[in-house]
Amino acid sequence: MTLVAHGLGATPGEARIPASGLPGTRVVVTLPSHGDAPDAPPGYWDYGRIAADLGTVPADHAVGVSLGAGALVRLMSLEPDRFQRVALLLPAVLDQPRQPITLQQLSDLTTGPPIYVAERRAALKRLEAAAEQLPGQVAVPDASALAAVSTPVLVIGAVGDPLHPEDVAKATAAAFPDGELWLIDSPSPMVTHRAEIRHRLVSFFAG
What's the confidence (pLDDT) of residue 207? Answer: 86
pTM, whole model, 2 decimals?
A: 0.92
How does pLDDT run across 132-183, given as a tens digit for each residue? 899 899 999 999 999 999 999 999 999 999 899 999 999 999 999 999 999 9
As to burial, measured by CB atoms within 10 angstroms (0-12 exposed, 13-18 middle, 19+ buried), residue 41 is: exposed
How does pLDDT run across 82-92, given as a tens digit for each residue? 999 999 999 99
pLDDT-derived band at 116, boundaries 50, 70, 90: low
Amino acid at 119: E
What's the confidence (pLDDT) of residue 25? Answer: 96
What's the confidence (pLDDT) of residue 119? Answer: 74
Contacts of 5 (CB under 8 A, 6+ apart): 29, 31, 50, 54, 62, 63, 64, 65, 67, 68, 69, 71, 72
Helix (H) / strand (E) element for 29: namely: strand 26-29
Asked if 197 and 156 count as a contact pair (C-beta separation under 8 A), the reply is yes
SS3 content of the chain, % helix, strand, coil (to 5): 40, 15, 45
How does pLDDT run across 74-110, given as a tens digit for each residue? 999 999 999 999 999 999 999 998 776 666 666 555 5
Percent of the chain at pLDDT > 90 equals 77
State yes or no: pLDDT of 197 exceeds 60.
yes
> What does the pLDDT average to over 35-47?
95
Averaged pLDDT of the chain: 92
State yes or no: pLDDT of 63 exceeds 60.
yes
**Is pLDDT larger for residue 23 or for residue 156?**
156
pLDDT-derived band at 123, boundaries 50, 70, 90: confident
Which stretches within the chain are classed as H helix?
12-16, 47-54, 67-78, 103-108, 114-124, 128-133, 166-175, 189-192, 194-205
Give the integer Cα–Cα distance in Å for 12 and 35.
6
What's the confidence (pLDDT) of residue 111? Answer: 52
Point out which residues pair with 153 in neighbouring strands: 86, 179
